[in-house]
Amino acid sequence: MKFPGAMKFPGAMKETLWTFAALASHWRRRPGNFGMLLLGLAMATALWSGVQALNAQARNSYDAATAAISGGGARTLGSSRGGLFDQDLFVKLRRAGFNVSPVLEGSVRIGEENVRIIGVEPLSLPRRSPIAHLRSRADLIEDFFSGPGRGFASPETLRRLNLAEGAQPLTNRGRQLPPLAALAEAPPGAIVVDIGVAQHLLDRHEKLSRLILADDETLDEARLKSIAGDALRLVAANEESELDRLTDSFHLNLTAFGFLAFLVGLFIVHAAYGLAFEQRLPTLRTLRALGVAPMHLVAAMAWEIAVLTLAAGGAGVIGGYALARALLPDVARSLESLYGAQISENLALDARWWFSGLAMAGAGAVLAAASGLLKTLRLPPLSVSRPIAWRAEHHRYLRRQAALAVLALVAAACAYGFGKGLASGFAVIGLALLAAALFLPVGLAGALALGEHVARRPLARWFFADGRQEISGLSLALMALLIALAANIGVGGMVEGFRQTFGRWLDARLVAEVYFEAATPADAQDIEAWARKQSDISAILPVWRAKTRIGAWPVDVFGMTPHETYTAHFPLLDAEPNMWTDLRDQDAVLVSEQLARRLGLGVGAMIDIPTSHEDWRARVVGVFPDYGNPKGQLRIDHEKLKRYFDDASGIHYSLRAAPGATPRVIEDMQQRFDGKIARIIDQSELKALSTEVFERTFAVTTALNTLTLIVSGVALFASLLTLSEMRRARIAPVWALGATRRQLAGLEMIRVLAFAAGAAVFATPLGLFMTWCLVAIVNVAAFGWRLPFHMFPAQWLVVLLIALCAAFFAALVPLVRLARSAPTELLRVFSNER
């Protein structure tokens, strides 16, 4: 008895292999086309996986920061209001038998770098904690507890601080760190010290930031309440960390731009593969006629796609790694300055990332090749040698594009109408871009039809008529260009609008000439007393700070004293008429825009604010813009801050100095108070710092945008290069009838430039719409602030020029080749079978 399947499989395999070989031979003849296919897929993958690498790196660093102490997955107790709580509570809990380990965290400045100080008690730390590894440095463990103690930092952190093991740097509060030692497990950007040392370094005596619960501890909430009251809050092991939540929108933003770049890259792949499919159609037909089943053809093509994915995807993932490495410093700096997050600059990615990059490349390749595969399945075995009916096809194509565009537009409207928040904002932008891209060929065809109608001279008529034929071949590249240009206008408009708003806002917000931070509240008193007697100093304004939590959001509370500095300048979005007097005399607060949106509060609303004692009920008398701040902010009267918040910082001040006296005042203070001043900075320097933070935040977006534009330029180049062969068949008859090659090359160039200009013209309103979406939907959802909408016509001109340049250079090589091509090459058109 024969088992048919057993013999069939190798035969089928062989057939597929031969078919594969026949199909693959095509690439040998057209290495350029193959290169473009690889390049497109590699670039798309690189941009996508690069962005994913940045996100993964940042998230790993956040996790590392929390897990480094607790070992991950541990429950902790934190202050209900945020900020710190008294060590007393810990002592009471320990006495009551709770198995908890204390932690104090805070940051200090060493030189120009921010460093996180983490104070722990190693003996009570859960065994899983990587920090517990400091036991591996048995040589030092004694020192950790006794004498000056030890500070553990990762080798990377030591390098960044430019310090060697054993160094004892001073903080800018004048406190000396214990001798440093390297410990690979220490979290990035942090120094781990004994809890007592941390309290001294941070000047937080008898204070803690959280308690880690031992794994086996079953928490009796009732007993906890009876000992600690409402002061402590249980933070579940899987609760999203504050950093995760704050940085979410930043990462979503990155992902969105990475995806946009990926899509633009896929346009290249789709264009290159589509062309290869057309060119291989005769081969496919022949294979079909020779009896190869459609399934085998598709299987062979699938093989081809798999090989492509491995080659181009692999190269792309490596490129993504390189890209991430290049952008990481900017991203790390911007996350640090915005959110205080420490990101390790040693890019470490796991296998999952590599595989997901390859999977994305594969998905992209399949998507780009899908229409070719489907057509192959339906390929009739009999070759129909009718000339390609391009007109009928052209109209079908235009109708389909228009229908899809309308569909995308309807979807965009739905996303806007029914969706909410960030995802809906991005969906509206994406769908609108798609709709415009789909409609672009229809618009261009209309313009060309109009031109044909008006043109009188024969070459001009040919120019327009033939252009319509070229559209379908170029449309994918033009769509990619359109998307890239629109994204540039959209993001450029948003960034520029933000820059202007931010600049004006900063001027109004930073009115005081000098800002300083005393080392301790006692030092601050001394400085204050001295400053009041100086003739150069017209006012000293305490700007003490405290922390609280409202509706699960961390909120900073700032105090302010009634002064012209605020009443005449402080920027406000909305306010009650007697706001400044009410703020001083009544239970009243100013709320930052972000917080107001998050809590749904407006002027006149009441708000309950957790304080050191009981909740304080106050009326919102004003809403102020607070651009660039991820946290919510409340501004209250200085006296009330002192009354309600026992732990108010007591060290932050700003000074009003006589015009021109600022440098002298600063120098005076530095000489007189030296160690009592942790930090002093003048207005212009602070503005420069803030602006730098701002610029850095958008550096990555701008870089991704520029890369997207480059990718679309390459797409145009690839399409023109691969089309040039088809174009030759169209041009040859006109040449034979008496037009010169140069004339024809010139016309081709004008046409490409006109197409690019058309894309740019299309891109402008689209870009404006995108700016509006970013400003009115995305920014509000992501950051909580709404910017005024600005237009920048100069920018549009630049984008138009960029489009023309991209088109010019993309067209240059194929056209110079055409202008110089030997007549023989054009004559081949007449002797080759079609």
Partner 1 sequence: MLRVERLSKSYPTPQGPIPVLRGVDFTLDAGASLALTGESGSGKSTLIHLVGALDDADSGEVVLDGVALTRLPEKARAAMRRDKIGVVFQQFNLIPSLTVAENLGFQARLAGRYDPPWQQELTERLGLAALGARYPEELSGGQQQRVAIGRALAVRPKLLLADEPTGNLDEATGDNVMSLALDLVAATGCAFLMATHSERLASRLRRRVRLESGFLAQ
Ligand X SMILES: Nc1ncnc2c1ncn2[C@@H]1O[C@H](COP(=O)(O)OP(=O)(O)OP(=O)(O)O)[C@@H](O)[C@H]1O
Picked from ligand X, partner 1, none, the partner binding residue 738 (CB below 5 to 8 A depending on kind) is partner 1
**Which CB, 7 or 750, lies closer to partner 1?**
750
CA distance 123 to 477: 63
Residue type (1 letter), 404: L
Picked from ligand X, partner 1, none, the partner binding residue 468 (CB below 5 to 8 A depending on kind) is partner 1
Picked from partner 1, ligand X, none, the partner binding residue 9 (CB below 5 to 8 A depending on kind) is none
**Which CB, 383 or 469, lies closer to partner 1?**
469
Pull the structure tokens for residue 818: 């055409």
Pull the structure tokens for residue 562: 């009634």
| 624: β partners | 592
Least CB distance to partner 1 at residue 786 (A): 50
Least CB distance to ligand X at residue 830 (A): 9
**Which CB, 575 or 826, lies closer to partner 1?**
826
The footprint of ligand X on residues 657-676 (CB under 6 A) is none
* Residue with token string 């100093």: 537
**Which CB, 29 or 352, lies closer to ligand X?**
29
For the chain, the straight-line distance linking the first and the last C-alpha, in angstroms and rounded, comes to 52
Helix axes 242-289, 4-29, angle to 10 degrees: 100
The footprint of partner 1 on residues 808-827 (CB under 8 A) is 823-824, 826-827
Considering only CA atoms, give the Rg of the chain.
33
Picked from partner 1, ligand X, none, the partner binding residue 373 (CB below 5 to 8 A depending on kind) is none
Helix locations, 221-293, DSSP H: 221-228, 242-289
Q: Which of 275, 679, 315, 223 is nearest to 472 (CA)?
A: 275
Least CB distance to ligand X at residue 748 (A): 23
Q: How many CA within 13 A on the CB side of residue 112?
A: 4
Q: How many CA within 13 A on the CB side of residue 424?
A: 13
**Which CB, 238 or 832, lies closer to ligand X?**
832
Least CB distance to partner 1 at residue 826 (A): 8
The correct pick among 391, 396, 400, 613 for binding partner 1 (CB under 8 A) is: 391
Q: Which of 468, 25, 42 is nearest to 279 (CA)?
A: 25
Contact 414, 430 (CB under 8 A): no
**Which CB, 29 or 456, lies closer to ligand X?**
29
Residue 515: strand, helix, or coil: strand
Picked from ligand X, partner 1, none, the partner binding residue 218 (CB below 5 to 8 A depending on kind) is none
Contact 575, 603 (CB under 8 A): yes
Least CB distance to partner 1 at residue 459 (A): 7
**Which CB, 221 or 833, lies closer to ligand X?**
833
Could you tell me whether strands 210-213 and 100-110 are parallel, antiparallel, or unpaired per DSSP bridges?
antiparallel
- Interface pattern 204-243 for ligand X (x via CB under 6 A): ----------------------------------------
The correct pick among 390, 606, 674, 746 for binding partner 1 (CB under 8 A) is: 390
Q: What size, in residues, is the chain?
A: 834
Helix (H) or strand (E) holding 566: helix 564-567
The footprint of ligand X on residues 812-831 (CB under 6 A) is 824, 831
- Interface pattern 773-812 for ligand X (x via CB under 6 A): ----------------------------------------
Helix axes 31-70, 683-736, angle to 10 degrees: 160
**Which CB, 238 or 831, lies closer to partner 1?**
831
Contact 422, 448 (CB under 8 A): no
Contacts of 456 (CB under 8 A, 6+ apart): none
Least CB distance to ligand X at residue 728 (A): 14
Size of residue set near partner 1 by CB under 8 A = 37
Picked from partner 1, ligand X, none, the partner binding residue 453 (CB below 5 to 8 A depending on kind) is none
Least CB distance to ligand X at residue 29 (A): 16
Picked from partner 1, ligand X, none, the partner binding residue 750 (CB below 5 to 8 A depending on kind) is none
**Which CB, 225 or 828, lies closer to partner 1?**
828
Least CB distance to partner 1 at residue 399 (A): 18
Least CB distance to partner 1 at residue 443 (A): 19
**Which CB, 536 or 725, lies closer to ligand X?**
725
Neighbours of 576 (CB within 10 A): 16
Q: Does 832 bind ligand X (CB under 6 A)?
A: no
Helix locations, 455-510, DSSP H: 458-509
Q: How many CA within 13 A on the CB side of residue 405?
A: 17
**Which CB, 59 or 741, lies closer to ligand X?**
741
Helix (H) or strand (E) holding 110: strand 100-110
**Which CB, 238 or 824, lies closer to ligand X?**
824
Helix (H) or strand (E) holding 385: none
- Interface pattern 280-309 for ligand X (x via CB under 6 A): ------------------------------
Picked from ligand X, partner 1, none, the partner binding residue 613 (CB below 5 to 8 A depending on kind) is none
CA distances, 749 to each of 485, 493, 585, 804 (Å): 20, 30, 73, 11
Least CB distance to ligand X at residue 38 (A): 30
Pull the structure tokens for residue 434: 């798609």
* Sheet-wide strand order for 537-542: 537-542, 652-657, 514-518, 677-682
**Which CB, 322 or 455, lies closer to partner 1?**
455
Residue whose C-beta lies closest to ligand X:
824
**Which CB, 532 or 828, lies closer to partner 1?**
828
Residue 71: strand, helix, or coil: coil
The footprint of ligand X on residues 36-65 (CB under 6 A) is none
- Interface pattern 503-522 for ligand X (x via CB under 6 A): --------------------
The footprint of partner 1 on residues 452-511 (CB under 8 A) is 457-459, 461-462, 465-466, 468-469
Q: Does 388 bind partner 1 (CB under 8 A)?
A: yes
3-state helix, strand and coil shares in percent for the chain, rounded to the nearest 5: 65, 15, 20
Residue 399: strand, helix, or coil: helix
Helix locations, 71-154, DSSP H: 87-95, 138-145
**Which CB, 14 or 828, lies closer to partner 1?**
828
Picked from partner 1, ligand X, none, the partner binding residue 735 (CB below 5 to 8 A depending on kind) is partner 1
The footprint of partner 1 on residues 710-769 (CB under 8 A) is 730, 732-743
Contact 325, 347 (CB under 8 A): yes
Helix (H) or strand (E) holding 386: none
Q: Which of 468, 266, 290 is nearest to 370 (CA)?
A: 266
Least CB distance to ligand X at residue 392 (A): 32
Size of residue set near ligand X by CB under 6 A = 2
Residue 569: strand, helix, or coil: coil
Give residues in contact with ligand X (CB under 6 A): 824, 831
Residues that bind partner 1 (CB under 8 A): 387-392, 457-459, 461-462, 465-466, 468-469, 730, 732-743, 823-824, 826-827, 829-831, 833-834
